[in-house]
Every structure is written in C-alpha cells, then in structure tokens.
Amino acid sequence: MHKIPVTVITGFLGAGKTTLIRHLLQNNEGRRIAVFVNEFGEIGIDGELLRDCRVCEDEEDPNSNIVELTNGCLCCTVQEEFLPAMQELLQRRDRLDCMLIETSGLALPKPLVQAFRWPEIRTGATVDGVITVVDCEALASNQFVGDLEALLAQRQADSSLEHETPIEELFEDQLACADLVLLTKCDRVDEQTQVRVQDWLRQNLSPGVKVISCQDGKISGDLLLGFNAAVEDNLDSRPSHHDTEAEHEHDDDINAVQLLLDQAFEPSVLVKRLQTLVQQQEIYRIKGFVAVPNKAMRLVLQGVGNRFDYFYDRTWQPNETRQTKLVLIGRELDRVGIESLLLKLD
C-alpha cells in the first residue's frame, strides 16, 4: 500500500501557520487532507477553526481528519501523543491523499521528522517536505518572531518542553530543515525591505531551497505539496543544534486561562478592554471566538501582545451556544480576576 505524504509546517508563534493551513483546506482542489495541530489550553481554538473548513467527505465525521495534540511541544511528546494518533490515521490511509502537521512555535522540526523512521510509521507515511513560515516584518527588524515575550510565554507554559533553545538557534534549525520558506506579512514592509529579507534568507538556506512571499496564507497547494523529498531519509544534510544534546530545563510560571462568557461584545469595545488588560497584567497571547450583538456571524479574534486582528469566519450553527470563548496566555494569570476585570472595564 502507498505511503501517505506528510508536509510539516513549522515557524514561530504568530507567523501565520494556521492561516496557511486554513487556506489549504478551503482550497484543497479535491485533496483529502488530514491535519495535526498543536494546541495550548483546554479550548481548541485552532482545531475548531480548521474543522470548520469541512475537509472530510459528506458521509465522514468532520472531526476525524483534524487531530489536536494538546499535550505540549510536538517534538518532545511525539512518542506519547503523536505516534498513537498517527497509527490511527494510517489505518484508513486509503481514504487520505496527504497529511499536514502544524508544529507549535517552539518545536524543533528534526526530532519530529525522525519519528518517521520508526517502523510503526515508516511503512505507511513519508515526510514529503518541510515548510518554514517566516514573519517578514519581524525579520526585517532583526528579530525572528513578531512578539518575543509571547514566544517566551509559550515556551514557559509548556510543561512538557524538554528544550530551552535560544531563539536564534531555534530559527536556524527551522531554516536548516526547510524544503521551502514562506515569507508572510510582506504587506507590512516596503518592497526594498522585502528584497533585503529575501536575500538574507537565501544566504542562510541550503542550496536550492526557495523563498516565496505569501499574504494571508493565499498560496496554491501545488507549490507546497508534492516535494517527494522523503526528508526522513536525508536528515544528515539538515543539521540541528540539538543533534548531540540530551535534555534541558524549563520553568512553568506561565499559564493559560480559558474564558467562556455568555456576554456578546462589539469588536472595537472588546479589543479596547483586552488592550487595557494587557497593560495591567502580563498577557502575551489571546485568541478565541466572540459573539457580537445582532450579528449572525462568529468573530475570530487573535492578539499578540497589544496587537489584535479579527474577522468573521462563519455563521453560528443552530446547535451552538452563542458564547465568547477566549484563551489567554501569560504570567501567573488568574481566570476569575481576569473575567471580572474584563466584564467591568468600560
């Protein structure tokens, strides 16, 4: 039986990985796609966004092709959580054309790819290619991530994380493992800056690795799928800072808070309140769904630091409770206190 081609999509928090996958699912061109997505917290915001793309056949369970891996950094928990989920999907690989794996912003891609050498996986799947998503605006400012504090918060909040790699080394590992680099948020810089960033990337990538600009995840699946790289067979050509490293320490002062609010909010009012909360407390990342008064559509809200974006993605379903669901990641956050402040702020 044929091997399922698997595309690994890596990159830092906020670079645009979920947006990219969402576009691929909505424009699948007949491909039957399964997705692994890392989540943090009990409310699976990214997983729900992807399930709404309706990637399954009409007669299939719409949840069956979206696998949420919620137990921390995928490269550290691959055996405990990823392996059983992959084995389950491989049992029905005759109904799949490909798989996508969205790693967390902290994941080292190479340990994940190494899992495809395991006998339990090797006979049924192969890593078709590794896509690294890079924030052009951040890199143009000599940073690797749009909000460093948010990334550090994600790192500390992950109780399973066994590595505390310097951000620069993690970025170098992501580039070293890439078959293709997608440069996002190019609309936020001028053309000259974009060219400078592209030139820098090409100088720091392996020969033959292409850099493609991408806005809002809008790119053809034909450019991302079908590399036939069998990455697991040529890992020696993709060096990692962790090739000879054992384990690292971390702390978990950072936590995630989940809010389920029956109140509906005007988007501008909610963003103003959240920005006030960000100033008052160490909140690094906010994402979720919002009920808006007199609107049949559900609002998707995402915030990194003090920057917020939101859009309407679909109508509320008849069997859904119109609630505002938010996940906040920060330092020593108190759910009751945050909920009280959020509802009281004017």
Question: At 196, which CATH number?
Answer: 3.40.50.300
Q: Is the pLDDT of residue 28 over 60?
A: yes
Which of 172, 203, 237 represents a domain boundary (last residue)? 237
Same domain, 116 and 264: no
Q: Is the pLDDT of residue 54 over 60?
A: no
In a domain, 146, yes or no: yes
Q: Among the ranges 204-218, 238-252, 277-291, 329-343, which has the highest mean pLDDT value?
A: 204-218
Same domain, 222 and 298: no
Domain count, the chain: 2
For CA atoms 19, 101, 171, 178, give the dihedral sign.
Answer: negative
pLDDT digits 0-9 by tens, 104-122: 766 678 888 888 988 888 9
- How far is C-alpha 58 from the chain's CA centre? 26
Question: Which H or E element spans position 127?
Answer: strand 125-135
In a domain, 245, yes or no: no
Which of 210, 237, 264 represents a domain boundary (last residue)? 237
Which has the higher per-residue pLDDT, 37 or 3? 3
In a domain, 73, yes or no: yes
Question: At 259, which CATH number?
Answer: 3.30.1220.10
Q: Which domain covers residue 45, as residue numbers?
A: 4-237
Same domain, 229 and 271: no
Same domain, 46 and 144: yes
Same domain, 181 and 259: no
In a domain, 299, yes or no: yes
- pLDDT reported for residue 89: 83
What's the predicted TM-score (pTM) here? 0.66
- pLDDT reported for residue 115: 85
Cα gap 126→129, rounded to integer Å: 9
Task: Give the least confident one: 150-154, 178-182, 208-212.
Answer: 150-154
**Rama region for 272: left / alpha / beta (φ>0; ψ in -120 to 50; rest):** alpha
Which has the higher per-residue pLDDT, 333 or 162? 333
Same domain, 72 and 133: yes
Q: Is the pLDDT of residue 68 over 80?
A: no
In a domain, 242, yes or no: no
Give every strand in the sheet of 210-213, ordered side by side: 66-69, 33-38, 98-102, 4-11, 125-135, 180-184, 210-213
Same domain, 277 and 171: no
